[in-house]
Amino acid sequence: MKQGTTLQNMIWALQGQEELAADYTLGAPRLSYEMGDALPPAQTKSEALNELLSRVATDFDGNPQITDDFNSPEAAPREPLLVLDGERVLRPNRVFHQQMATQLRIPYDYYKRQFHTHPEDLCRDVTSWLGDTHVVKNVQQPVHGDRTVRSMGNTARAFLSNRYRRLDNYPLLLSVLGRLGDMGVDQGNILSCNVTDKKLYLKIVTPRLEGEVEKGDIVQAGLEVTNSEVGQGSLAVQPLIYRLVCKNGAIMPDTGIRKTHIGGSQAGDEKNGWEIYSDDTMKKADDAFFAQVGDVVEHTLSEEVFNLELDKIRTANSDEIQVEVPKAIEHLSTTYRFSEQEEDQILNNFINGENRTRWGMANAVTLTSQSDDVSYERASELERIGGDIIENILNWTEGN
């Protein structure tokens, strides 16, 4: 399974994040793009927090930006920056740029090209569109209404509706770890964890629940917790099946819990500033919901859920693929849009695995997630695809 960071580093980073994160809600016309010197990620005395800041301050391809990048000869000296009310200046990351392009209905490839080739034109166009107004009930209103900007240090990390419901990573992590501790699951059972510019990932296994798919092929029960603070997915808890023979896991779909991040308007008093403050009602609602998450964590690591998933795996292990192997991979790639490199790796893994069943194919996919050139996010996607293959009898098994 792909490794991200250590649990202790993640705890330190998320704890420190609370001092550097700020949320602002303001009318879209009060936002603008302006050319300026590229802002490096903020620097702190915490190595774990600096690592998180570099991962949040991503470029268009999702690559982390570190302070040294801004001192290299290749670094662009000036670029479009986000300005709030003509005062606060932030450097947008990958997620922010994608969300801005979506909000303004600008094709992202065109937006990206303008950023690199004609950044001044992009600044002018974005600022102009953000300032658009229309008449609603005889009153001039901003077309794009009030927007929430989530920031961390010098980085603008999300551009969201003011109805976005924050479910933040640190209290979620503490809640989940507390419930796991009550269940006797300790830090040694953490398979992998990470925080990217998009999501938090926590992957756990419990050796107290294990079973054989067939003789010698042992799997253990686990779960994956994911959450996005920046509008890139719901908070979710899903079963994870961990295969001991190759130390890779599959995330099982269609069970667990999902909580979307849409709620009532969270704007503070704009006359006195931009920052959003959590009130007692929101905190109580969060505490109640995180308690429910703990209940789902306990249920997901139950014998009942594990036995259901084990039955699905055994069924997949008896479902032999009837078409030629290259054709099966081709149909699979059409469904899940693998890259050419991933196709080749899956084909090699499937042949070397010597298991011509749907279970064998799922393992060929999840094993590909361990490749050095696969990002943590993509590795997690491949683990979910592996679970989906276990869950579903797909057309490619029939040669359609």
φ, ψ for residue 264 (rounded to 5)?
A: -75, 165
If asked whether residues 155 and 203 sit together in one domain, one would say no
DSSP string covering 9-64, please?
HHHHHHHHHHHHEEEEEEEGGGEEEEEEEPPPPP--S-HHHHHHHHHHSB-TTS-B
Tell whether 141 is covered by a domain: yes
What pLDDT digit, counting tens, does each position of 307-320 carry?
A: 999 999 999 999 99
Tell whether 2 is covered by a domain: no
- The last residue of a domain, from among 161, 181, 212: 161
Residue spans of beta strands (DSSP E) within 255-369: 257-259
Tokens of 94: 């990958």
| The pLDDT of residue 184 | 87
CA distances from 32 to 36, 135, 265 (A): 12, 22, 22
Rounded distance, CA 179 to CA 224, Å? 14
If asked whether residues 36 and 108 sit together in one domain, one would say yes
- The last residue of a domain, from among 161, 195, 217: 161
Tell whether 273 is covered by a domain: no
If asked whether residues 137 and 226 sit together in one domain, one would say no
What pLDDT digit, counting tens, does each position of 274-326 carry?
A: 334 445 666 777 778 888 888 899 999 999 999 999 999 999 999 998 888 88
If asked whether residues 229 and 193 sit together in one domain, one would say yes
Whose tokens are 């391809």? That residue is 61
pTM above threshold 0.85:
yes
Q: Which residues contact 43 (CB under 8 A, 6 or more apart)?
A: 50, 53, 67
Tokens of 111: 């937006």
In percent, how much of the chain has pLDDT > 70? 88
What pLDDT digit, counting tens, does each position of 112-140 carry?
A: 999 999 999 999 999 999 999 888 888 88
Tell whether 272 is covered by a domain: no
Tell whether 265 is covered by a domain: no
Rounded distance, CA 293 to CA 229, Å? 16
Nearest to 294 by CA among 183, 191, 210: 183
Nearest to 59 by CA among 33, 93, 82: 93
Nearest to 369 by CA among 359, 381, 361: 381
Tell whether 1 is covered by a domain: no
Instruction: Domain count for the chain, please give it.
Output: 3
- Domain limits at 223? 169-260+278-312
If asked whether residues 329 and 344 sit together in one domain, one would say yes
If asked whether residues 176 and 150 sit together in one domain, one would say no
| The pLDDT of residue 256 | 60
Q: How confident is the model at residue 92 (pLDDT cuts 50, 70, 90)?
A: very high
Residue 342 has pLDDT above 90, yes or no: yes
If asked whether residues 84 and 228 sit together in one domain, one would say no
If asked whether residues 384 and 349 sit together in one domain, one would say yes
Tell whether 133 is covered by a domain: yes
Tell whether 271 is covered by a domain: no
If asked whether residues 13 and 151 sit together in one domain, one would say yes
Between 85 and 268, name the one with better pLDDT: 85
What pLDDT digit, counting tens, does each position of 31-49 carry?
A: 999 999 988 888 899 999 9
CA distances from 158 to 32, 185, 195, 230, 240 (A): 15, 34, 15, 5, 29
Geometric angle at alpha carbon 336, from 331 and 342, rounded to 5°? 85
How confident is the model over 81-105, as a mean pLDDT? 96
Q: Which residues pair with 218 in a beta bridge?
A: 212
If asked whether residues 19 and 138 sit together in one domain, one would say yes
What pLDDT digit, counting tens, does each position of 218-240 carry?
A: 999 999 999 999 999 888 999 99
Q: CB–CB of 25/88 below 8 Å?
A: no
If asked whether residues 143 and 66 sit together in one domain, one would say yes
Q: Is the dihedral of CA 139, 140, 145, 146 positive or negative?
A: negative
How confident is the model over 79-102, as a mean pLDDT? 96
If asked whether residues 50 and 155 sit together in one domain, one would say yes
Residue 272 has pLDDT above 60, yes or no: no
Q: CB–CB of 178/195 below 8 Å?
A: no
How confident is the model over 137-155, as a mean pLDDT? 91
